[in-house]
Structure 1
């Protein structure tokens, strides 16, 4: 992928991330105030979740500032791994937030059920704020996911799912607060129960976000289906014999392929070179112009 295209990707990623950043700034402030005034532990937990979005937004902005740089002597394959690292950090941050909410809500449930502590009833302001958050975060999820898929950015897509997890969080909060308000004193425990359910959803989302990027950082090869398809493309090219030693991996939004092929002994260097060019053209047609392909050509008798 050329520098101009990476620059465009970075600009698009930055634009959608800044939109999310300012939306999170407003939402976090409103949620925190509503949670305190409205006596809702679920809403305060939801506010903390939104606060974590600031961290991930900043991580995405910083990572794309690095990703847009061209390859250099220290990073011959470009800076795509910084985007992968950003995705991993987003996932881990989200998991820690979920764990914190789980612990806090668990304490409140323990106090209400086993210690018979009277929990304060949430107020309407917390319920209205939860509804506002649901709508806002779902809109942010949709526009961020669309942009992330358009520019093929794992970090932006991960950030989109962070928005979606916040929307789920607000749905759970809305149900818990609504139940606690409408069903009376004996049901106030629904508020921290809602926060507990939300925390589980958050941690599940965090796992989904981070597992792929962690595998990429550990240089795991592409999935079997992709590897088989790459071999099939190469095998179907005229005069290629026995493609072998296939190695694949990802660097950001690009894939890297290493392959050995055999050709007839009597081919000239020019003819063998043209075969390699054809391999590159056909693979890039399917996997993108930024795909990096290293081909080791050997005589047939080897």
Structure 2
């Protein structure tokens, strides 16, 4: 089974985000080891995001605040999946003929946009602190050099007081390192536990979830280095906001990538090539089985000419074009259609609709583009459809004829 993923890049590395396969997250089989470790990871992410956020705020660590916000990028995706899975899997209706999958796409756009805006805000705040710290150190050094290291001055060149209070200087509390260090240990444990099950089952889905935990531990390492560096080294109060800026750039890139992906999905961009290949292979396999009820119909005579589709949330809406002998009847092609639809739906996860179009075998190989109405056919001179214009013209003629007959009758009476 092949799942669609969208890469999220983090400063040279990448991992799938939001549109990864959520099989274990949405499964009702709570006794399954893969489901259990996935749910544990979800709750751990939730409490750690809150803990790092509060710790970073009260302990004056910009890098820890940014790391907490980074943890939300995966967490909100999982909660979005849980909130929309029941909607996205609803059967289509007359009002929503394509199903309800786009509801998840709309939610993804909203969440990704918030993450993008939050990442920009965090980055801007870290940059402001970094700017003030760098120029404060320069100003203080210049003032001390000019005043013989007299610390009694207030304001300095840039209006800052030269205080030895670590909080005033933007230095995080050393206890913030415990939170960052604890996050590294917990996330590394989740990585190893999830990867162990993934290897046992040869599951790419669980392996992807394990990588998520490893990436989160790496961002916590950035925060830990930034926090400890401000206490171990001298005159590096700028190191913590640098760590916050680095992590916020990761969040910005993630938000930007996911916002673009959500917009493309809402615009009905075509599905990834690996999904097309999976659908094509499953359809070809169904045709090769030759298990049809009619002796004249054989799958060997059918060719899969084109595969297209769009993604709606977790659902794939696929279109297949099959070439068959020109003398086949509708009843015979229906046998092929049912077999292909059943096989593709059973083998390719997420496929919710398979629409099949049959064309006769020929030298030409038409594709789905011929379903669109050409510019020379579409009415452009008037917004009024031709049949309505003709009907209005006929009504005008009838009215004129009635008026003419009525006037003629009046003349005869006179």
TM-score of the pair, normalised by structure 2: 0.56
Deviation (angstroms), 1:285: 5.3
Deviation (angstroms), 1:33: 4.7
Please show how residues 169-180 of structure 1 align to structure 2 within 5 Å.
169-180=219-230
Name the CA distance, whole Å, in 1 between partners of 2:179 and 2:67: 10
The verdict on how the C-alpha distance between 1:16 and 1:220 changes in structure 2, with shifts beyond 3 A counting, is farther
Deviates more, 1:262-271 or 1:93-102: 262-271
For structure 1, the 5+ residue unaligned runs are: 1-5
Deviates more, 1:118-127 or 1:214-223: 118-127
Q: Is this contact kept in 2: 1:169–1:198, CA < 8 A?
A: yes
The verdict on how the C-alpha distance between 1:190 and 1:70 changes in structure 2, with shifts beyond 3 A counting, is same
The aligned residue for residue 128 of structure 1 is: 178
Match 2:329 to one of 259, 268, 271: 268
The aligned residue for residue 26 of structure 2 is: 9
**Counterpart of 1:173 in 2: which secondary structure?**
helix
Deviates more, 1:208-217 or 1:173-182: 208-217
Match 1:197 to one of 246, 251, 254: 246
Name the CA distance, whole Å, in 2 between partners of 1:142 and 1:68: 32
The verdict on how the C-alpha distance between 1:218 and 1:150 changes in structure 2, with shifts beyond 3 A counting, is farther
Name the CA distance, whole Å, in 2 between partners of 1:199 and 1:36: 15
Q: Is this contact kept in 2: 1:169–1:199, CA < 8 A?
A: no
Between the two proteins, the alignment pairs up a number of residues equal to 288
**Counterpart of 1:114 in 2: which secondary structure?**
helix
The aligned residue for residue 257 of structure 1 is: 318
Does 2:60 match 1:42? no
The verdict on how the C-alpha distance between 1:250 and 1:266 changes in structure 2, with shifts beyond 3 A counting, is same
The verdict on how the C-alpha distance between 1:166 and 1:64 changes in structure 2, with shifts beyond 3 A counting, is same
Match 2:355 to one of 289, 294, 297: 294
Name the CA distance, whole Å, in 2 between partners of 1:73 and 1:197: 49
Name the CA distance, whole Å, in 2 between partners of 1:284 and 1:24: 33
Name the CA distance, whole Å, in 1 between partners of 2:247 and 2:76: 20
Structure with the greater alpha carbon radius of gyration: 2
Deviation (angstroms), 1:196: 0.7
Name the CA distance, whole Å, in 2 between partners of 1:275 and 1:68: 26
Deviation (angstroms), 1:238: 1.9
Deviates more, 1:205-214 or 1:232-241: 232-241
Does 2:68 match 1:78? no
In the TM superposition, what whole-angstrom CA distance separates every residue of 1:156-191 from its partner, at most 9, and x where no partner exists? Answer: x89x95x7665443221111011111112x112111
Does 2:171 match 1:110? no
Does 2:231 match 1:181? yes
Name the CA distance, whole Å, in 1 between partners of 2:61 and 2:115: 21
In the TM superposition, what whole-angstrom CA distance separates every residue of 1:116-171 from its partner, at most 9, and x where no partner exists? Answer: 36624333211111111233345567889999x9898xxxx89x95x766544322
In the TM superposition, what whole-angstrom CA distance separates every residue of 1:186-220 from its partner, at most 9, and x where no partner exists? Answer: 11211111111111122223344444333222111
Q: Is this contact kept in 2: 1:52–1:93, CA < 8 A?
A: no
Please show how residues 91-106 of structure 1 align to structure 2 within 5 Å.
91-106=112-127
Deviates more, 1:254-263 or 1:220-229: 220-229
The verdict on how the C-alpha distance between 1:218 and 1:140 changes in structure 2, with shifts beyond 3 A counting, is farther
TM-score of the pair, normalised by structure 1: 0.73
**Counterpart of 1:71 in 2: which secondary structure?**
coil
The verdict on how the C-alpha distance between 1:67 and 1:283 changes in structure 2, with shifts beyond 3 A counting, is closer
**Counterpart of 1:193 in 2: which secondary structure?**
helix
Aligned-residue CA RMSD (Å): 4.2
The verdict on how the C-alpha distance between 1:230 and 1:61 changes in structure 2, with shifts beyond 3 A counting, is closer
